[in-house]
């Protein structure tokens, strides 16, 4: 009898990090996939992820509308609460043998709590990592609720073990986002006018030198989001290189980041910058692979960029403590420090590929662990 695995996706980054595992689950003889989308995964302005998922061949079994679009920190709490309520009905109807949740976004707490209290074995992907912001608290809390830990690196496995988890329930699989990078670079070509098709403002020649910027608000530094992105904007203006700037995640502080970008653009022009909303994960990787460097605070600078050897300028505390390769140069939210690091990394060319987060075959290992690891997969609901 096949094990029914319910995977809950809450946001665009979560899908990119788990897609190779979804493919492996679908093709595994002993597994059956159930897919639930909720929170910003269903928000059109965040990438219309549900349409992307279906276009790529996956069936969505349940949609849970839970995203609270109001500004402020409370919106994250309300989104999490709405998601948790929706999970109850979804899990009752789908009757999965296990529930899989991904990484550390705040909405993942809804999945973890609902599964744990409904006696459903919880599988956590990418636990055991150390970062800044509230993400680390969420990640470690989910670790203590989870029954099976599929981690990205040996150091993450050791942290989970030190938290008191059973070593027999900890499996080093690598990070599925590296799978996306490996698959994307098997076909690295992009149309010559691709950059002009996907954004607005400045024109970018993908055959020439350009940089990528991806900077999100830091939840625990909510009141500083505008000032922080302002420092990065000034550095990019003064660096004066063709730039692809991607819009931030829909976290608390995103409104301040977006409005500051718009105001700065209106006052300073930024003719060398092209602003982009969303692109498919593979195309983003292909763009990053061509770029001189990536600037911001996204984990892509730590994970995928290390594997590709792309220089990264990591700004602020959002990735504080996360294992990183030689490609990363850390700087504070200070215009002069960011600009100096940009100049250094632009001259660095490429770093050696670092497999710190895996070899690009994590999805297969995740599926195999789901099929073979002894767990109480026969647990069902308790009245």
156: left (phi over 0), alpha (psi -120 to 50) or beta: alpha
Query: At a CB cut-off of 8 Å and minimum separation 6, what does 166 contact?
Result: none
Q: Is residue 115 a contact partner of residue 122, using CB atoms and an 8 Å limit? A: yes
Q: Is residue 43 a contact partner of residue 250, using CB atoms and an 8 Å limit? A: yes
Confidence category of residue 195, pLDDT binned at 50, 70, 90: low
Q: Which helix (H) or strand (E) holds 172?
A: strand 170-172
Residue 140: pLDDT over 50 = yes
Query: At a CB cut-off of 8 Å and minimum separation 6, what does 237 contact?
Result: 264, 268, 270
Q: What are the boundaries of each domain within the chain?
A: 3-175+358-372, 188-346
CA dist 245 and 243 (Å) reads 6
Topology, domain 188-346? Rossmann fold (3.40.50)
Query: At a CB cut-off of 8 Å and minimum separation 6, what does 63 contact?
Result: 36, 37, 38, 42, 50
Q: What are phi and psi of 30, to 5 degrees?
A: -105, 5
Using alpha carbons only, what angle is made at residue 196 by residues 309 and 206, rounded to the nearest 5 degrees?
A: 30
Q: Is residue 98 a contact partner of residue 128, using CB atoms and an 8 Å limit? A: no
Residue 383: pLDDT over 70 = no
**Mean pLDDT across the chain:** 92
Which tens digit of pLDDT belongs to each residue from 242-274?
999 998 887 778 899 999 999 999 998 899 999
Q: What is the pTM of this model?
A: 0.88
CA dist 68 and 251 (Å) reads 11
Q: Are 3-175+358-372 and 188-346 equal in CATH topology?
A: yes
DSSP type of residue 162: H
Q: Which among 314, 313, 311, 306 is positioned nearest to 353, based on CA atoms?
A: 306
Residue 44: pLDDT over 90 = no
Residue 97: pLDDT over 90 = yes
pLDDT of residue 194: 76
**Any idea which architecture 3-175+358-372 has in CATH?**
3-Layer(aba) Sandwich (3.40)
Which tens digit of pLDDT belongs to each residue from 326-358?
999 999 999 999 999 999 999 998 999 999 999
Please spell the DSSP secondary structure of 114-150, one letter per residue.
HHHHTT--EEEES-S---STTHHHHHHHHHHH-SEEE
């Amino acid at each position: 009898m096949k094990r029914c695995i319910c995977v809950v996706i809450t946001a665009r980054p979560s899908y990119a990090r788990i897609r190779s595992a979804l493919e492996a689950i679908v093709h595994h003889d002993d597994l059956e996939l159930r897919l639930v989308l909720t929170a910003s995964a269903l928000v059109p302005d965040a990438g219309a992820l549900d349409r992307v998922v279906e276009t790529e061949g996956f069936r969505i079994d349940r949609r849970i509308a839970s995203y609270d679009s109001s500004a402020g920190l409370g919106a994250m709490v309300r989104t999490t609460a709405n998601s948790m309520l929706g999970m109850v009905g979804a899990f009752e109807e789908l009757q999965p043998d296990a529930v899989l949740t991904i990484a550390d976004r705040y909405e993942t707490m809804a999945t973890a709590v609902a599964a744990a209290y409904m006696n459903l074995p919880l599988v956590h992907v990418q636990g055991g990592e150390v970062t800044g912001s509230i993400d680390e608290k969420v990640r470690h809390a989910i670790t203590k609720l989870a029954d099976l830990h599929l981690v990205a690196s040996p150091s993450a496995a050791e942290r989970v073990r030190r938290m008191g988890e059973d070593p027999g329930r900890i499996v080093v699989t690598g990070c599925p986002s590296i799978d996306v990078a490996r698959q994307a670079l098997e076909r690295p070509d992009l149309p010559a006018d691709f950059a002009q098709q996907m954004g607005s403002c400045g024109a970018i020649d993908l055959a020439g030198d350009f940089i990528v910027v991806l900077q999100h608000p830091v939840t625990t530094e909510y009141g500083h989001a505008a000032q922080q992105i302002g420092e990065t904007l000034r550095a990019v203006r003064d660096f004066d290189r063709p730039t692809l700037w991607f819009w931030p995640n829909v976290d608390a502080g995103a409104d301040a980041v977006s409005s500051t970008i718009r105001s700065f653009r209106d006052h300073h022009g930024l003719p060398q910058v092209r602003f982009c909303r969303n692109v498919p994960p593979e195309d983003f990787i292909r763009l990053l692979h061509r770029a001189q460097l990536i600037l911001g605070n996204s984990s892509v600078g730590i994970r995928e960029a290390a594997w590709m050897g792309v220089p990264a300028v990591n700004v602020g505390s959002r990735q504080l403590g996360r294992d990183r390769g030689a490609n990363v140069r850390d700087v504070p939210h200070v215009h002069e420090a960011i600009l100096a690091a940009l100049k250094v990394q632009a001259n660095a060319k490429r770093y050696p590929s670092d497999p710190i987060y895996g070899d690009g075959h994590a999805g297969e290992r995740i599926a195999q662990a789901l099929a073979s690891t002894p767990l109480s997969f026969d647990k069902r609901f308790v009245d």
